[in-house]
Amino acid sequence: MKNKNWWEEFFEESFADFFLERDEKNLEDSKNFLIDALSLKKDMTLFDQCSGLGNVSHALSRSGVRTIGVEQSREYVRIAKEVADKEKLPCEFVRGDALTFLPSVKCDAAINWYTSFGYSMDDETNLEMLRRDYESLKDGGYFALDFHNLARVFGQPASTKLVRKNKKDEECVITRVSTFNLEEGSYLSEWTYEYSDGTVKKRQGTTRIYLPHQLKSMLAQLGFGNIIFYGNLDKSPLTVDSPRCIVIAQK
């Protein structure tokens, strides 16, 4: 790919409109799962790495959890802050680089949610992102990583198409074409947005292929222990058919 830091262009208004707005049930399920799996209690502090629009932080803070989120998109941070300010939620959102950002205080828990990991083809760079999570935590604190279950993704169709509407009620046909480079260990997604007015946008994103045992090894290398895998928010075991690969680890 021409742009090494592809995420700087990929995560913009179109993607946010169609994929980052979460329904209430999804957010409620995510909140309940995280509170239980991370042993969160009122007034504890959570680090939300790659916080997006702040949906998960908002949901957790409504239950009394204080959150600190970092996000590279200026617009996403603006939206997250706007919601937090309007509802007077105990959330802080910072525009920054998740590879280097650390909260100003040690946190009780940390999350990297909705597959915001593995964007570099360099393993050491990806390890640095996980290191920030480890360093952000108090001793005994928990970390949750939500990643692709690539065993399942391997078996899905290479091309998918769907029709969605954004907040302006504009209809868009979205086509995603996925390509695996097994020799390189990469997963390329090419997205095309075709709007009803004829506008066409194209974006590409690359994710490093990590299977569960590799994620476990990286976390253990940093010092995490008590590493557990789940296949979904209902705490079902991770299998090849699970919709997600969720890892819980403790510092």
**pLDDT tens track, the chain, 251 positions:** 445 677 677 666 666 666 666 678 888 999 999 999 999 999 999 999 999 999 999 999 999 999 999 999 888 899 999 999 999 999 999 999 999 999 999 999 999 998 899 999 999 999 999 999 999 999 999 999 999 999 998 888 888 887 777 667 778 888 989 999 999 999 998 989 888 888 898 888 899 999 999 999 999 999 999 999 999 999 999 999 999 999 999 99
Q: What is the pLDDT of residue 1?
A: 40
Q: What is the pLDDT of residue 167?
A: 67
Beta bridge partners of residue 246, listed in sequence order: 146, 230
* All CATH 2.20.25 domain ranges in the chain, comma separated: 152-207
CA 43 to chain centre: 23
If 0-12 CB within 10 Å is exposed, 13-18 middle and 19+ buried, where does residue 137 land?
Answer: buried
What gap in Å lies between CA 147 and CA 102, rounded to an integer? 21
Q: What is the pLDDT of residue 94?
A: 97
Q: What is the pLDDT of residue 14?
A: 64
- Look at the domain 152-207 and name its fold: N-terminal domain of TfIIb (2.20.25)
What gap in Å lies between CA 177 and CA 179, rounded to an integer? 7
Select 7-149+210-250's CATH number: 3.40.50.150, 3.40.50.2000, 3.40.50.720, 3.30.230.10. Answer: 3.40.50.150
Cβ pair 57, 41 in contact under 8 A: no
Spell out the residues 6+ positions from residue 32 whose beta carbon is closer than 8 angstroms to its own: 233
Nearest CA among 120, 127, 119, 146 for reference residue 48? 146
Q: What is the pLDDT of residue 75?
A: 87
* All CATH 3.40.50.150 domain ranges in the chain, comma separated: 7-149+210-250
Beta bridge partners of residue 219, listed in sequence order: none
pTM for this prediction: 0.91
